Structure 1
Amino acid sequence: MAGDDDGPKLAWALFDTIIAQSERDRRTNPWATDNNDELRYQPDFETLSVLLGVPIFLGSVSQSGLLAIAVDVWISYELRRAGFHPDAVWPRATTPRVLPRSLALFAERIPVQLRDQVVARYDHQNGNISKSVAAPATARILGKNYVKQVDVVISDWSTGPELLISTKRMDASYSNNALNRVEESYGDAKNLRLRHPLAALGFVFALSSGIYTKNRNLVPKLKDLLSKLGQEDDAYHAVMLVMPDYVSVMAEQPTDAVGLAAEMRENIDAVIARIPVVGILLDESPHDIAPATFFEKMIVRVLNNTPVDFHEPARALRNTAAKAK
């Protein structure tokens, strides 16, 4: 098993490689028309399935928080697929995970020798977790009454937050914690909405299929609460329920992490090929809280709330698919 210190390092290395492979191999427009001639966003669930297998592969599941990070990495990947600038979407695909786009542009435009010195100043690492003030490890956003860590963000100094997504995962203690997680999100939504009314505000709940064996009767209530969470005027603009099917892979023996780092340096593709693929129960997410609906609402809201010369690649992708109807 991966140790407490090694787990995040190994996981981020695997996450980054998986995302780099997906961005290279799946360069297709995520927008397309469905059988009813409606323009729909098509999430890349294959990439999510592999990302969700990384914590299981490392033997770091419920305590490490890596399952939640896997979902964050996937969401930010989807926003880049949709055409948003890589430096504007946090967590970024490379370290540091949170970096103002203006600072990234500045570093790109200075001589290489000086650039290395500048980057070394703001990209202090500790297991791929930055401690720099200019490039912190996580995005902390000031709401009306308190600062809130937000998991996926589109922002820049010149615009402020344009998209804010909070993610929660639940793979155990369903009866004690599941409803509390949803109820707590109401307060977080109001705190952020009151200071950033134009930002697209989203909530993602990753609920393990294990709930069907532990507390099946709770599922309808959770789905109802999540649906209503996206209908309130002062709450979230969009809500997603994604249900990974961990049950079929959680019992597998996790990979021994001894020597894994060296193996990854030699042939990381071979290591990724051994990662268990986690199924996604797509039919369990009602239409209004389905992943495709979530991305559609969030992306369109960002585009509608900005001038036409902002996010031009994202607009072009969507317009191209619309014209093909």
Structure 2
Amino acid sequence: MAARPSSKAEAWEIFDHIVEAAAPGGEHSNPWVPGSDGQPFFHPDYDTLALLLGVPLHLKVGTQTGVPALALDVWLSYELRRAGFGTDQVWPRPANPRVLPAPVSAFVKSLPTAIRAKAQSHLTSNTSIPGVTSSSASILGKNYLKQVDVIITDWVTGPELLISTKRMDSSYGKNAPNRIEESYGDAKNLRLRHPIAALGFLFGLRSDILEKEPKTAEWLFDLLAKLGREDDAYHSTCLVLMDYSSDQALPVAVEEEPSEGILEPGPQPITDPAEDEIAHLADSTVENIVKTLPKVSILENQTPDDLSPARFLTSLVTRVLAATPVNMHEEARRRRASILPRK
């Protein structure tokens, strides 16, 4: 009898089902709408975000598993594909392996039919092939390697977009200062080596902070906004206010999750072999799970305008396109330009 998948493996199956349903066959809706000034404005798919955020609540897993924050990473990569960036350009990918360099994917697709299937099978059945694929990506900053959650990169261009995500569902006063301090250091480390790359920071926060610790919320919102305005920090910052029932609250860790520390150079060891496991959930099981996921709402109206996901994605995608020639990211440019009035 096959073993039950780990929480992260199970989460990935549900995440993938949600994303596939939102973009059947890889056909994504166009996120761009005319803004108040007539310029393109990114309209996020909050319904898909709410479903993804319900997955860790369904699994009842704590922050130490990485699943709660992973829901935000999956959503951001999905939104970037909606913007028109390719499946292999944006990490994490919507299928295993989650990190796969575009040239490797192009090479496999160019192989003769007789061996292409075997090569693809080898890639998809291994979470991490040293130097080729991985379940997560690390980028060298000015002084040290940093794991970055959502990335657009290629060997021709180098990193074009780097987004770090954090999530906090409890113990706000205790943990918020540490999260902000880490974010300042990460921003400077990455910005100094990759000044042209669009650098973003997204913070997922449970909305009960507004009632439980309003002063902490005010302080946190202020610092998040400042992170996106300073010359040596992020180009844009974002707040996702998540509202869900106390009955569905995530398990509270006894101790704060440890920092990943400074990564060593070279391929990282596999610490989570979740996606290499043989056991999988049946399609019907995943479908039923999605139908009964705990309800999560995104409080757009209580999110400061300068921290809104819409503004955040508008800013970062526009920056990526502005920093590259017009013959690159052509689908992303076409989608953005399609809502502009014709001259």
Q: TM-score, normalised on structure 1?
A: 0.90
Match of 1:14 in 2: 14
Q: Give the direction of change, closer, same or farther, for the CA distance of 1:252–1:143 in structure 2 (3 Å limit).
A: closer
1:274-289 matches, cutoff 5 A: 274-289=292-307
CA contact (8 A) 1:100 1:156 kept: yes
Quote the Cα distance in structure 2 between the aligned partners of 1:251 and 1:167.
20
| Corresponding letter in the other structure for 1:20 | E
Quote the Cα distance in structure 1 between the aligned partners of 2:57 and 2:298.
15
Q: Percent identity?
A: 47
Match of 2:43 in 1: 42
Q: Give the direction of change, closer, same or farther, for the CA distance of 1:263–1:234 in structure 2 (3 Å limit).
A: closer
Match of 1:64 in 2: 65
Per the TM alignment, residue 286 of structure 1 is displaced from its structure 2 partner at its CA by 1.1
| Corresponding letter in the other structure for 2:220 | L
CA contact (8 A) 1:242 1:291 kept: yes
Q: Give the aligned CA root-mean-square deviation in angstroms.
A: 2.4
Match of 2:165 in 1: 167
CA contact (8 A) 2:141 2:189 kept: yes
Match of 2:101 in 1: 100
Q: Secondary structure at the match of 1:282?
A: coil
Match of 1:235 in 2: 233
Q: Secondary structure at the match of 1:233?
A: coil
Quote the Cα distance in structure 2 between the aligned partners of 1:154 and 1:251.
32
CA contact (8 A) 2:63 2:69 kept: no
Quote the Cα distance in structure 1 between the aligned partners of 2:23 and 2:175.
35
Quote the Cα distance in structure 1 between the aligned partners of 2:224 and 2:250.
31
1:183-198 matches, cutoff 5 A: 183-198=181-196
CA contact (8 A) 2:73 2:92 kept: yes
Quote the Cα distance in structure 2 between the aligned partners of 1:312 and 1:285.
32
Per the TM alignment, residue 251 of structure 1 is displaced from its structure 2 partner at its CA by 5.2
CA contact (8 A) 2:238 2:307 kept: yes
Per the TM alignment, residue 288 of structure 1 is displaced from its structure 2 partner at its CA by 1.1
Quote the Cα distance in structure 2 between the aligned partners of 1:228 and 1:91.
28
Match of 2:257 in 1: none
| Corresponding letter in the other structure for 1:94 | A
Match of 1:155 in 2: 153
- Post-superposition Cα deviations, 1:251-277, rounded to whole Å, max 9, x if no partner, equal 599xxxxxxx77633443222111122
CA contact (8 A) 2:244 2:295 kept: no
1:1-325 matches, cutoff 5 A: 6-24=6-24, 27-34=28-35, 37-123=38-124, 125=126, 129-248=127-246, 250=248, 264-323=282-341
Quote the Cα distance in structure 1 between the aligned partners of 2:113 and 2:248.
46
CA contact (8 A) 2:34 2:339 kept: yes
CA contact (8 A) 1:203 1:238 kept: yes
Quote the Cα distance in structure 2 between the aligned partners of 1:132 and 1:119.
16
- Post-superposition Cα deviations, 1:222-266, rounded to whole Å, max 9, x if no partner, equal 11001110000111000001111133552599xxxxxxx776334
**Higher mean C-alpha displacement, 107-116 vs 244-253:** 244-253
CA contact (8 A) 1:122 1:134 kept: no
What is the aligned residue count?
Answer: 313
Q: Give the direction of change, closer, same or farther, for the CA distance of 1:132–1:120 in structure 2 (3 Å limit).
A: farther
Unaligned runs of 5+ in 2: 252-278
Per the TM alignment, residue 89 of structure 1 is displaced from its structure 2 partner at its CA by 0.1
Per the TM alignment, residue 114 of structure 1 is displaced from its structure 2 partner at its CA by 1.5
Q: TM-score, normalised on structure 2?
A: 0.85
Quote the Cα distance in structure 1 between the aligned partners of 2:84 and 2:174.
39
| Corresponding letter in the other structure for 1:314 | A
Quote the Cα distance in structure 2 between the aligned partners of 1:189 and 1:265.
40
- Post-superposition Cα deviations, 1:47-106, rounded to whole Å, max 9, x if no partner, equal 000000011111213332211000000000000000011110000001100011010011
CA contact (8 A) 2:40 2:337 kept: no
| Corresponding letter in the other structure for 2:214 | R
Q: Secondary structure at the match of 1:272?
A: helix
CA contact (8 A) 2:69 2:167 kept: yes
